[in-house]
Chains A and B, each alone.
Chain A
Amino acid sequence: GQQVMQIPQYQHVQEGEDFTTYCNSSTTLSNIQWYKQRPGGHPVFLIQLVKSGEVKKQKRLTFQFGEAKKNSSLHITATQTTDVGTYFCAYSGYSSASKIIFGSGTRLSIRP
């Protein structure tokens, strides 16, 4: 079956450093979504990528979907303390648009 690995599991950075989390799939994905969960909070949708090679930006966040639609990344430039939280990728299969599967998440912590 489809498997998506999200790495790293944890990342601890100095404020101002960059941060990247990756999702890698063994099979082609129809789309990928990214969510952020603040400590003590619930996941909040950030973005969805659909097209091969797609790149989207939200201020300091850059999202990429690989050419083969098997991997995706979220890159944060110059992290701030407000970026703290767990970032999840999520995807749905080709047969169903309702059911999505979440990656295991990358927890980002930041040294001020």
Chain B
Amino acid sequence: DVKVTQSSRYLVKRTGEKVFLECVQDMDHENMFWYRQDPGLGLRLIYFSYDVKMKEKGDIPEGYSVSREKKERFSLILESASTNQTSMYLCASSLRGGVAGLVTDTQYFGPGTRLTVL
């Protein structure tokens, strides 16, 4: 079974702090993703990575950065946390990209980190 783990289930930080959210997958997946989930808005893609040291912006990258130094690990960084970044953060991975215009590889999600910024 694919296992995606996230460093914390719950996190409380103060405004202005630098926050690191870590995600690790154990199945040699090429793609990794960071989403935030807010009520009524579904899952919104922040960043994704299709290879080590490669990244692409998602729909809401502002205020976030990412790092992928090793294939199994994808980190989300909040340079200066703000209250509007209070949310559930979900990491996901997929084996590879599938075939553009045809099929998409299944995404496997971690348990999520509920971040509260005070």
| A43 near B90: Cβ-Cβ < 8 Å | yes
One of A53-61, A75-83, A87-95 contacting the partner: A87-95
Contact-size category for A: 20 to 34
List 17 additional contacts besides A30-B104, A43-B92, A100-B104; criterion CB under 8 Å: A30-B100, A30-B102, A31-B102, A42-B111, A43-B43, A48-B103, A50-B102, A50-B103, A88-B43, A92-B100, A92-B104, A97-B102, A98-B105, A99-B45, A99-B58, A101-B45, A104-B41
A56 to chain B, nearest CB (A): 14
Q: Are B103 and A102 in contact (CB under 8 A)?
A: no
| In the complex, chain B residues whose CB is within 8 Å of the CB of A45 | 106-108
Tell yes or no: B16 within 8 A of A by CB.
no
**Residue B74 CB within 8 A of the other chain:** no
In the assembled complex, A103 has its CB within 8 A of some CB on chain B = yes
